[in-house]
Structure 1
Amino acid sequence: MTYDAECTFPEGTLYVTILPAVTKHERWGDREMTLPEGRLGISSSCHEDYPGFVKIRGRRYRVASRRGRAHAARESLLRCDDPDASLWTYQSPLHRRWEFTNGLDQEVSRESVARGRLDAMVREAADRFEVECPEWVRISERLELEHLVQAASVEVATATRALHQAENYAARMRDRLAECRDRLANYVD
């Protein structure tokens, strides 16, 4: 996976990649809302074949996080009660079982200080990237739409192939039926 930006911290570097958005369809009162929520991949590895780590208090940790950004229409609701509310939600790890692992490839405990710092680094990397690349949400949405178009094209090709197979089968059955009728007509005569 290629990355779109680097965010350097005293503990190490995190790499940010724009991922396809996830569009949510919701009903707000009497209105149907389509809310594409941009997503970022944030990792300590610039390439999955070469694992990268960050160091906290002399220990190595690996980051592989997928974060979603709340849609602008939802932002005011989130900030209503808490003006400092995070607009980033954890979605899933990138290519791994856990979002944060230690040097032994074990999940970092939820109560640990290191996990709190890793989570803060991921949120800060996402915030920095949003400032550096304000059009990233549109790119994320474009990636989602490109994927949907590609998936629809595959469905069309599959349906077209199935239609041609069905037409060929129907033509063969019509030929067999015609032969059967001819034999019957010759038998009756």
Structure 2
Amino acid sequence: MDANVSGRYFRLSAAPPSSSDFPEMLLAQAAKPLSLREYDVTGTGVTARVEHCIEDGDFVIGEFCRKQMTNIPPQAGPDGLTPIPLPNGQGLGHLAAFRYHRPTRVILLQYNMQCVTTYRIALYLMKINAASVYGFAPILREDALERFKDKKIRSFSVQFASPKNLARPIRESAFF
């Protein structure tokens, strides 16, 4: 168990017309045996699954698990490092808890880069049903801009979805 746990809030997009909604998909997965919940979400060996999922009134709570089967760190002992042998099909489990509120479509996801991100959750849902394309919009805290006011900017990044005209040059002064 981690000594410090942090989480981030996201608002899910509406359910696609040809798919079950997000909480129903997770609850249906949780009803299956563990081995049938696992999917290689990236096609490169990143295996994820719903570890645990239950309803609690307007909430659906549970955990996602990423099963690490490659690049297993060694055991460190007084005689040095020793590889940790794992039986075939076994791996290290990295967990991230979540709490989803049905009326607002807001999910609180434990921040654990070793486990699943919203991107990997979206890929997981598409493995269950290819039509299940969901967006996860981050929800900023009310004091987010105030916290950055009068501070020196160390880095800045912008992402554009479906840009219309990439050939048009962007002036730096437009941002700063």
Higher relative contact order (CA 8 A, sep 6+): 2
TM-score normalised to structure 2 length:
0.32
More helix by share: 1
Say which one has the larger Rg: 1
